[in-house]
Structure 1
Amino acid sequence: MNFELLANNVEKIHKVTSLYAKGAVNQLLTIRNWMIGFYIVEFEQSGNDRAEYGTQLLTKLSKKVEIKGLDRQMLGTCRLFYQRYPQICATVSRKLRGIDEIEMLPKEFDAENSYLKNVENQICDTASRKFEMPPDVLISRLSFSHLREILPIDDPLERFFYEVECIKGTWSVRELRRQISSKLFFRAGISKKPELLLRQVDSEDFSKSLTVKNIYSLEFLGLDGKEAVTESDLEEAIMEHLQEFLLEMGNGFCFEARQKRIVIDDEYYFIDLVLYNRLLHCNVIVELKVDKFRYEHFGQLNSYVSYYKECEMTEGDNPPIGILLCTEKGEKMVEYVLNGVDEQIFVSTYMLHLPDKKQLEEFLLAELKELGV
């Protein structure tokens, strides 16, 4: 294969799948993108002039084919799609048998399917089937827009988790994106009963601007290997990974201050983090603890929230909210402490390492049975 043949194949498969798109737009679009990825990888591995194009291959290819939507980024996505989902090869071969009489169909996908069948045997015979969505289900139940949200995830089990739950919950692309950004996979992994968490997710009112999680995943801070984590370490790591932290907190959060100094009864106090939620139009006071929840933690946070309510609110602001992040909490103690308190103080835990996947694996196998695949 040379570059001219690569460009020609991309143009041909685009035309073929476009002709047969009526009634099966999403499926054929997915197949088209997989096949484009297939050709790109084949060229990169064995193209006669691949060295000539090198790292500029996708840029030059997008200019050569001039197909709307197939820019450099999309071609890279197609390549990644092929690499992430080699099992689709069997479905591609089968789907194209009904249209192989078209003159422009590439010879690699002719009626005999000898070339693709060889690729299929090499890839699919070695692939693990235990946590792999059947290709027919993958193509028929998920649009490529859904798959595009899942593709960047490196962990195969995590990708499989979102495939299963997206199909089961009939999530929109927006809902899938939201669950990925909220680290649903990790939250389910550390839940004693992940099925209850997911049942709650499926019944959530997505119009709510703020959902305070019971558990926040802070593994991106890189503190897991540290022998003794102090509050200062935690705060410093959050500032170094502020973007990830704000995304983990949820929708609409903006950073306002760190170690905010306030004066109460002529004494100085310092608030760990002050955020602002532009959707709720209120300040969010965050206190960080590196130990288990204690009553005095609540007293401290409550005083800060009350101070902000009296002294810092401006016109148009709603009352502030307080979130206490600690390593663990006794549910009864939290219940007793917060009894009678308006919904403005929340106690959550955080984790600094990824969960054990064994429980999730068993759960996902049960979910597959429920889907009937």
Structure 2
Amino acid sequence: MRAVRLSVVTAVATAAALTSVTACTQKSGADSGDQVIGVTATDDSCEVSKKEFPAGHIELAVENKGSKVTEVYLLFPDDRIVAERENIGPGIKQKVVAEVKAGDYVIACKPGMKGKGIRQDVKATGGSAARRNPKLDQAVAAYRQYVQEQADETLPLVETFAKAVKAGDVEAAKKAYAPSRLGWERTEPVAESFGDIDPKVDLREADLEPGQKWTGWHRLEKALWKNGKIGPEEKTLADRLVTDLEDWQQRVGTAEITPTSMANGAKELLDEVATGKVTGEEEFFSHTDLVDFKGNVEGAEKAYELLEPVARKNDPALAEELDKQFAALDALLDKYRADKADKASYAFVSYDKVGEDDRKELSDAVNALAEPLSKLAAAVVK
């Protein structure tokens, strides 16, 4: 997942330990000591307490002993994400619980939230006896269909954007830019799980590594809004954006999706809002942050909607709180529609016109939803 700039919302960067669960309806078996893997991250090391453990539910007990904000990932050998935790501040301890099948994996720490990280090869042995509630299988199937639909619907919008760029039509390209991003924003955690697509299409200038070529939406955003012109390089990059998103469209059906990865992905979408959209850093040049904001919230709400029947049965109070906070955030976003009477429109006011007090109100509403949403994964595995 692309690195989040270090000027993130303090509440996110220093959050207390949250549990990330990724797979089944039974209670975690990670309570037993042989399935708890200690991960000690520093600015130049990533130490694990064991490199072999039983398959099934495992717990990464993470502690950041470094001076930099870090990230910890459990990865397949090809860099697909099994589980992750971002924005782990210095001195913070967190838990990441995942369900793994027998096989080889990688644990990676990313001090400063940059690069490929410091890596340790690990192995899960044996087999998993985890079983899943059929209602959660139905939720996964419906969510997989939703994610594919979002990718399928995104491609024509991206092609319209690219066509305007290649025609040199700055105003048409500006108009097509934000709509072309909505499907991606709604399903970003799944898109990012592949590892290699996100840096090609959604990297911000501030997140570039030394020597890294900048491609994707935000490179074109800068050309359109800051430079106000389109050159040969931008036209080439427009074609590349379409090609990279066609790759996403073809691969999205192969993504690893579980009930709790859906729940944790919903929380990640709120973190995306808190660390990029609320701060105005995501759409730095176009100020179309509220369109992305809405897309992230819609994606989180869709995952919750599909998981809600099981979550409500297992934790009625949590479901009631999530209903309340989603409704409050949706109502608050409605205040910023360009046409307040048109609730179906994705035309929002330019974010540079949103004052500090209003941004604080938005941030508070996001945090009020993010806190109970962080408990959704645990609720579906009770």
Q: TM-score per shorter chain, which class?
A: under 0.3
More helix by share: 1
TM-score (norm: length of structure 2): 0.23
Higher alpha-carbon Rg: 1
TM-score (norm: length of structure 1): 0.23
